[in-house]
Structure 1
Amino acid sequence: MTAKKTQIVIVGGGAGGLELARRLGAKYGRKRHDIILVDRNRTHIWKPLLHEVAAGSLDANLDEVGYRSHCHRWGYRYFYGALDSIDREARKIILAPVLDEDGSELIGRHEIRYDYLVIAIGSVTNDFGTPGVRENCIFLDSRAQADRFRNKLLNHCLRVSRAMTADPSADEYVRISIVGGGATGVELAAELYNSASALRYYGLEIFDESRLKVTLIEAGPRILPALPERLAEAAQHELEALGVRVLTGTAVTEATADEIVTRSGERIKSDLKVWAAGVRGAEVLDGIGGLETNRAFQLVVRPTLQTSRDDRIFAMGDCCSCLLPGSERPVPPRAQAAHQMATSVLHNLERMMAGKPLKPFVYHDHGSLVSLSRFQTVGSLMGNLVGGRMAVEGRLARFVYTSLYRMHLLAIHGWVKGTALLLIGRVNAIIRPRLKLH
């Protein structure tokens, strides 16, 4: 009789989940283990790139990873579906029905058993219950949302170009409001100007960056709170030089179909509204399977990254709240944290299956970097060689920033294919159009 395989289920194919699935599949294969990755999308794209997809400066078709081909290469299985609930007693996850575009059911609600479960479904944008935001603003949580923004952006650029063709003196602009002065909001604001400057070469002769009116709105006292104040000021100066109107200390109270309303009463006319003001866990996690969650719907985990109420369930990345001993705040929701957690969960799963004690997760903060498209890159690094945090900007910062994506490619593809993709990326940068216009 064939022995039952040890089944490890990973829910969420983001940066951490996909890396973990690859490394488990590469290590254990399919002989005595069954590694399963579940995701509600069919392809993976690195979330920090979504602002470039939204602005049209990155063709996601060239950078996305198809789960089905990836799982065949690395020895795990992939299931298309969304987590609905967890039956901890039976050790099963329940996936929601898969629906066609017209709403008809393709696959009914179904179950997948697990011996060990890892939840890595990432985060979603937090609208903080602000009236009108969910109905009238675009979030950048997924490729579909980024594609939606790009299509709307191109439509408004075409509208302005046609109006200027008919009447060169027309007072026409594409008005974009971005709420949230963190990395996503700042990077998107800069990338929009990079894209607008190139549109004149792609059929919109009467359109350039001067036809953009971008407003970046931050409720806190300054943008980029994760960076040293000097670098945040440098980034703000660069944005304002591009033409971005930066509002700090400005809370948003409502979003309407064509305006952003601030607490001071100002009504900012907006053709497009992007909400990037914070993140939280997905609502499906709220009390799922009786597991402990915090107010932001994140799963509470111990230092070993095991959930507080179930040793066989791990959580990692943005969807978990991990307060390490001696720390005042949980591990921040960053790509570097998800990458480090994937390694920790991998080793702890190995130790658990071998009957060895688990080791606590240790977070190494390597700093923060923000790219203002081709205009500038600023950030701070943990300068281990110089004895502390090191402020960087310019070419060095840009090199480190692009290195983060290179490391991600190597983590999910391995050294051989990862290196090949890096070389292909260099070629594509030369021969492909600068913008994706469809």
Structure 2
Amino acid sequence: MGLPKSWKGSSNLFLYMKNLIVLSSSLPDHCEKFQGNFVFDLSAAISEKGVNVVILCPHNYKAKFFENAKGILVYRFPYFIPFSFQKLADGTGIAKNIQTSILSVIQIPLLLLSEIFFTFILVLKNQIDYVHSHWIVPQGFVGAIISFVLKKPHICTIHAADIFLLRKLFFHKYLLKFIIRNTNHFFIVSNYVFNAVNNQLSSKDSEILSKKYSILPMGVHVSRFELDKKIIPIRKKYCVENKFILLFIGRLTDKKGVEYLIESLYEVIQYDANIHLLICGNGPLHEILLDKADNLVLNNFVSFLGYITEKEKIELLSIADVLVVPSIVLDNGETEGMPVVVLEGMAAGLPIIASDVSGVRDVIQTNFNGLLVQARNSHQIAMAILMLMKDPVLREKLGNEAKKSSKMYDWENISQSYLSQLNGMKK
């Protein structure tokens, strides 16, 4: 397989600064959409500290093979022909796609081989010093191979979906052993995810991991959420001028737990009907959730806004009274690692109601900077909403503390933790 034409001539020899390649399966199809994507935001924050960054991710037929985004070189590698049939890393992501598409399953070895090939090409072409992989599979495996063969220091960020995907592979223990032993440091987004990884390891590999990991969520640009509180025209835009506004932002999938939020809204309006829920995001449960709201006769109390831009997200955070994150743990143990929207809500100074699962409990302390509720418990969500509706002093206190807490998760601080690890590694 040859190089895509747009890759040729894009070489940057990076003679004087450290050179980092970032491997990811998740990146928007155009650089204009990169803002708000945690892979790009972290890469940009590291780049601003004097590291030359190259990103490699799977191609999709709507995207260019090569882009220069604010000095960061973004390459997309092909893995199937025709390009319009590349489905494995598209849309909802690898973990979901292999559950719903036979074509995606067929493409697994092709994507892996193509990513290994093009990673070697870019590491040699751009004189890469360090490898950073997002998700333990497949990127962590590719990074470990590069580290093993080319002796390049390798760091790996483990999010959540990747570790649950890994468990489905019959040879996962051998794969995990190889990755653990050929990675210099792991950044794991929550203690819950760390335990999910550690439980799959032998005692020897568990001891190895214990010496080279950090619990660190993704970050947020706190300054981006220094909101202009000109809320009246924005409230008019969304037809919620005089309402108490609940906000949900995320993909409409099982583990987001949105059905329990809708059920809680039905309970809330029995006590106070001056409320409106804004649900932002698309996903496979969209129609099911619409039907649920319709069956509960909540049409006048909930709006499904679909996909929202980064600008719209900031607008909605500026008018919301409460952000609700009702995540659940699925029967197979899968859940979110650390929802970035929690950090965004904190940075916006919002009181947050969130399920006490996974990484949320690492950053939210109930009655200090938010309220934690039992997952899958719509009654507890309703009681928390009513508490905040009736107590503006508590709302302000929780929001203020949330905003203070968010500063430690600013990309400036998160990227410094990554850079400290890079600086401590020998090339």
- Relative to the length of structure 2, the TM-score reads 0.28
User: Which one has the bigger strand percentage?
Assistant: 1
Relative to its length, the structure with more helix (as a share) is 2
TM-score by length of 1: 0.27
Bigger relative contact order, structure 1 or 2, given CA contacts below 8 A and separation 6+? 1
